Amino acid sequence: MTLIKKNNVPFKIVNPTPSKEMLEALKEVNEMINNPEKYPRYNNRKDLKKALLSDE
């Protein structure tokens, strides 16, 4: 019953610095959101699977 006795959570809550990989991924997502015309869209799984398996 640590939570009740000490009136807090039994672990440290931190806000870690995002990794370089995470920052790059967020940048890529923002690019996709701001310029959706540059990226393909698919209406169904069949078309998506075909695109993923193609050599293009």
Instruction: For the chain, give every domain's residue range.
Output: 17-56
Residue identified by tokens 């940048």 is 27
pLDDT for 14 equals 86
pLDDT for 8 equals 75
Sequence-distant (6+) residues with CB within 8 A of 10 are 2, 3
Sequence-distant (6+) residues with CB within 8 A of 2 are 10
Q: What is the pLDDT of residues 2-42, one digit of tens each?
A: 545 667 777 888 888 999 999 999 999 999 999 999 999 99
Residue identified by tokens 């890529």 is 28
